[in-house]
Amino acid sequence: MDEDVVNEFGPTKQHLVRPATQADLPQIAHIARLTWDATYNKTIAPENRQEFLARAYKPENLADGIDRLGHWFFVGEVGKDVVGFGHFLRRYHPNRPRAELVRLYVLPGYQSMGIGTLILKTGFTALAEAGIEQCFVSVQATNTAARKFYERHGFSFHRNHGQFLGTQIITLAEYVRAMDGVEATR
Ligand SMILES: CC(C)(COP(=O)(O)OP(=O)(O)OC[C@H]1O[C@@H](n2cnc3c(N)ncnc32)[C@H](O)[C@@H]1OP(=O)(O)O)[C@@H](O)C(=O)NCCC(=O)NCCS
């Protein structure tokens, strides 16, 4: 599975997406640390980044999302290396089954290779199979690259909202995407 393949973007190691396991958690935390530092170095104070990552990405805190009803947690691999992850979770609504993509990160050196798209599409299929009708995602309003990425994948801007992150208030842009037209494989 990890032999080199050639695609329209040139020779590259083949990548795939699979459900995350407990054994992936230290690597997921490592990816989060590197990718957060690269993505948010100008917008989130270092102490706020560190405090958030130490809490949210502690393996025992992440473990709740693995193999659990209402969670869909995937990793992207290049060869045998885990280089990205995406975590969707169900959000309660009385009559519209909905979910949120709560994290999607690909290591800086592996971005723009299609891994984020593959994680997103794998997640959409899983949500459609579970009968989810809408998927939400919140992205830092200043993160234009990620906003474009979601817009190209069918998300529509819904609203801006604020969130405390340590000593800061972060403005987030919330997007929503209907799961109509996503093929469930079962
Ligand atoms: C946003 C993010 C998750 C997207 O993942 P990715 O793997 O880089 O995304 P993809 O490669 O699938 O797509 C990215 C771009 O590469 C292009 N692309 C797709 N397949 C490609 C390939 N095989 N080779 C080169 N480029 C490709 C696409 O046109 C796409 O362009 P777009 O962003 O303008 O839509 C990732 O870049 C990331 O982790 N960014 C930093 C953290 C972040 O902002 N996360 C979101 C927080 S909400």
Ligand 1 pocket mutation, candidates 9, 78, 106, 152, criterion most atoms within 8 A of CB: 106
Is the confidence at residue 17, as pLDDT, over 50? yes
Strands (E) across 20-133 are located at: 71-78, 81-91, 98-106
Give the per-residue pLDDT at 186: 58
Is the confidence at residue 169, as pLDDT, over 90? yes
Q: Report the atom number in ligand 1 closest to the C-alpha of 137.
A: 48
Percent above pLDDT 70 for the chain: 92
Pair 168, 45: CB distance under 8 Å: yes
The answer, yes or no, to whether any atom of ligand 1 lies below 6 A from the CB of 48, is no
Pair 77, 107: CB distance under 8 Å: no
Helix, strand or coil, per DSSP, at residue 52:
helix
pTM: 0.91
Is the confidence at residue 13, as pLDDT, over 80? no
Q: Cα-atom radius of gyration of the chain, to the nearest Å? A: 16
Give the per-residue pLDDT at 21: 97
N-term to C-term CA, the chain: 25
How far apart CA 152 and CA 170 sit, in angstroms, is 24
* CATH architecture for segment(s) 4-178: 3-Layer(aba) Sandwich (3.40)
Which residues, in sequence order, are CB contacts of 165 under 8 Å at separation 6+?
A: 44, 48, 52
Name beta bridge partners: 11. Answer: 6
Mean pLDDT over residues 127-156, rounded? 98
Pair 68, 130: CB distance under 8 Å: no
